[in-house]
Amino acid sequence: MTTSGQAAIRARRRARFAEVVREIASHPSAVIGAALLLVIIVLALLAPVLMPMDRLDVTQVTARGNESPSGGHWLGTDPSGRDVLGLLLWGSRASLLVGFSATAIAMVIGTTFGMAAGHFTGLTRAVVLRIIDFFLVVPSLVLAIVLSTVLSRGLSTIVIAIGVTSWAQTARVVRAQTLTIETRPYIERSRALGAGDRHIIGKHVLPAVMPLVMANTTLTVGSAIILESTLAFLGLGDPTTFSWGSMLKTALDTGAATAGYWWFVLAPGVAIVIVVLCFTLVGRALEAVLNPTLRAR
Amino acid sequence: MTVIETVPADSEDTRGSSLPRYLALKAGGSLISLALVVVLGFFMFRIIPGDPAINMTRGRQVSPGEVERLRQEMGLDKPLLVQFWRFVRDLFTGDLGTSYVYRRPVTDLIGDYIGPTLLLTGTAALISVALGLWLGQKAAWRRGSWFDKIHTGVALVFWSVPTFWLGLLLLLVFGGGLGWFPTGGMSTAASTDTGMAHVLDVAHHLVLPVVTMVAVIYAQYLMVMRASVLEEMSADYLTTARAKGLREDLVRTRHAVPNALLPTVTLIFLTLGLLIAGTVTVETVFSWPGLGYLTYKGLSAPDFPLVQGTFVVFSAAVIVMNFIADLLYRVLDPRLKSS
């Protein structure tokens, strides 16, 4: 009986998954966004092949600084003569890496706190709610700036700083969903049969909030990438890796904007906007499909 | 750049509670948040590797005796809890420590730099509120029209653009390229202008930073106002107004808009605090001598007491604005009061 029950559950989940995929595919903007993201991820992975690191070595470049776009350098060169397109390729690795890993941290914290705030009562709930409220209110950029100032410079610092400051919205959504789920009869039945907190949260609440967390993940990656570029722009990034934010910092420091070196100002910014827009498009579509409160509208 | 909710951050269910109880809950919550800011502000700056006394004297010739005296002055020889108590006590007397770089009290520095920030954020807030609300109600009234599509589209694109990059673009086009506006600072260096000429000079410097902030922030007001007016549009009282024979314009301005304004007013206060915190990037791009620029200078040194001080001030500003938003939300909506 158990095996056939599990098989039925699996079949139902597969059917639901196929349904979700179909519904997302009916949003053309989400399909475009997902396809573009795939291309960008492949390009980021191929960066060492497409643009070997030594061609971006300041001591080995042959081009002059701030050259305008040409056949040899499609997007021109930066102040030290490095190819802007190459920097862009390598920069995508930092953006995506930080975006994904910071979001992973934020999702774990957000889901845990959200479920805890929805499931428990009394003092635990009060304390968890206060913490969520604090992180909702405190400006994440300012907190991330402080964290990256006091920790040693590096990609992991940026990941931690962004992860720790961007989970509150997720916690809020997860809590609302947890509250809804826990009023369902099957939870009551489970509790009547003697299920503990761990069983109810792990077996019933977590699977039910997961779709919402997925939609939130996609949206959070976008804002994490913007936050990463902002921190790098303020000089808090990892000095040893290329990033779009640090390219823009170089642009500001060398006066590229006022000198009219448009290619060096335009390229990293356009890259950020495209990637963030892709994540936003996919995330919005996921949310529209998976979030029950939005589906009704 | 984060999505802002129309309703103030509120995970506690406060509907149906009386006004004094609501006030007490919100005030209590804000006070706890402020206390957390102070605790974080102290302990985060204690995880810095290295000795603050050595950090402070870096790059200068000092004898070990001098460092030891400095450690005693800063209270570093005391237990951590005693240091924390001193930090809190100093905070209440307006003492945020001494900047490593400027060698002046952080409170004085913040006092010097807060004026330009208020001027910048105040101007940007006024313009973006007026623009966002006006475009939002227009777009909602003509839902589905070209006006609606273009304005919501443009607003959403601006909204996903990093603030500092937009600033750099404006600098590129209007500062460097066309030369219409100055590229940085708050007034022309070495100018002795006074009176009206000085005001005009500052206004000239103000244009690009303000445009940057407005472009990023007005989208939120537009979207919320649009959604809010759309919600009112099916209301019965509009049918009544039309049945009375009112012109369409009057139905909109006298009946729909005032009701739709309710949720937006709280949003404005919610974003004001974030606007102040967002000055870090805008002021950095335009070297506008405000708190954000001061923070940037502090973190590139790094000047820990300065960053610590601005962190406390920025966070406190946001928390206070949030509290005001909570209050307005309750006071302005009569439906919430009666329930």
pLDDT one-digit tens code per residue, B244-259: 888 888 888 888 888 8
> Is the CB of A139 inside 8 Å of chain B's CB atoms?
yes
A168 versus B72: the higher-pLDDT residue is A168
The least confident of A91-105, A110-124, B136-150 is B136-150
Q: Per mean pLDDT, which range of A57-71, A243-257, B25-39 is the poorest?
A: A57-71
How near does any CA of chain A get to the CA of B30, in Å? 9
What pLDDT shows up at residue B11? 42
Task: Look at B32 and A134 and tell me if their CB atoms are within 8 Å.
Answer: yes
Does pLDDT of B191 surpass 70? Answer: no
Whether the predicted pLDDT of B243 surpasses 60: yes
CA distance A8 to chain B (A): 37
Range picked from A56-60, A70-74, A179-183, B210-214 for highest mean pLDDT: B210-214
Reported as a pLDDT band with limits 50, 70 and 90, residue B234 is confident
Task: Residue window 251-310, chain B: list those with CB within 8 Å of chain A.
Answer: 273-274, 277-278, 280-281, 284-285, 295-296, 299-300, 302, 304, 307-308, 310
Report for A285-289, B41-45, B313-317: range of highest mean pLDDT = B313-317
d(CA A49, CA B266): 52
- Among A40-49, A110-119, B321-330, the least confident range: B321-330
The fraction of chain A above a pLDDT of 90, given in percent, is 22
For residues B174 and A77, what is the distance between their CA atoms, to the nearest angstrom?
A: 23
For range B200-206, the mean pLDDT: 83
From the list A55, A94, A49, A34, the residue with the least C-alpha distance to A247 is: A94
Chain A: closest CA distance from residue B180 (Å): 12
Q: Measured between CB atoms, does B153 come within 8 Å of chain A?
A: no
Query: Which positions in chain B touch A265 (Cβ < 8 Å)?
Result: 165, 168-169, 172
Lowest pLDDT segment from A69-83, A172-186, B214-228, B312-326: A69-83
- The nearest alpha carbon in chain B to A275 belongs to B160
Set of chain B residues whose Cβ sits within 8 Å of the Cβ of A273: 157, 160-162, 165
Q: Is B162 close to A226, i.e. CB distance below 8 A?
A: yes
Counting one residue from chain A and one from chain B, the pairs whose CB atoms sit within 8 A come to 150
* Overall average pLDDT of the A210-232 stretch: 88
Question: pTM to 2 decimals?
Answer: 0.84
A250 in contact with B, Cβ within 8 Å: no
Nearest of B143, B157, B145 to residue B256 by alpha carbon: B143
Query: Across chain A, what does the average pLDDT equal?
Result: 85
Residue A159 clears pLDDT 90, i.e. is over it: yes
Q: What is the pLDDT of residue A2?
A: 59
What letter would DSSP give residue B63? -
Contacts of B33 in chain A (CB under 8 A): 133-134, 137-138
Any CB–CB contact under 8 A between A122 and chain B?
no
Closest-CA residue of B relative to A228 is B162
* Interface confidence: ipTM more than 0.90: no
Which B residues in the span 97-136 are in contact with A, Cβ-Cβ below 8 Å? none
The answer to which of B75-79, B128-132, B170-174 has the lowest mean pLDDT is: B75-79
pLDDT for residue A39: 93
Distance CA A118, CA A125 (A): 7
Strand pairing partners for B98?
Answer: B105
Is A136 exposed, middle or buried (CB count within 10 Å of its CB: 0-12, 13-18, 19+)?
Answer: buried
B314·A257 Cβ contact <8 A: no
Q: What is the pLDDT of residue B190?
A: 64
- Mean of pLDDT values over A162-178: 90
Q: Is the link from the previous residue into B302 a cis peptide, with omega within 30 of 0?
A: yes
Under an 8 A CB cutoff, do A151 and B47 touch? yes
Contacts of B268 (CB under 8 A, 6+ apart): B125, B129, B221
Inform me whether the pLDDT recorded for A295 exceeds 60: no
Residues A8-45 pLDDT 10s: 888 888 888 888 888 878 888 888 888 999 999 999 89
Distance from CA of B206 to the nearest CA of A (A): 17
State the DSSP code for B256. Answer: I
Whether residue B287 is predicted with pLDDT greater than 50 in this model: the reply is: yes
pLDDT of B9 reads 43
- Measured CA to CA in angstroms, residue A101 lies from A6, A163, A220 at distances of 33, 8, 11
Distance, CA of B251 to CA of B127 (rounded, Å): 25
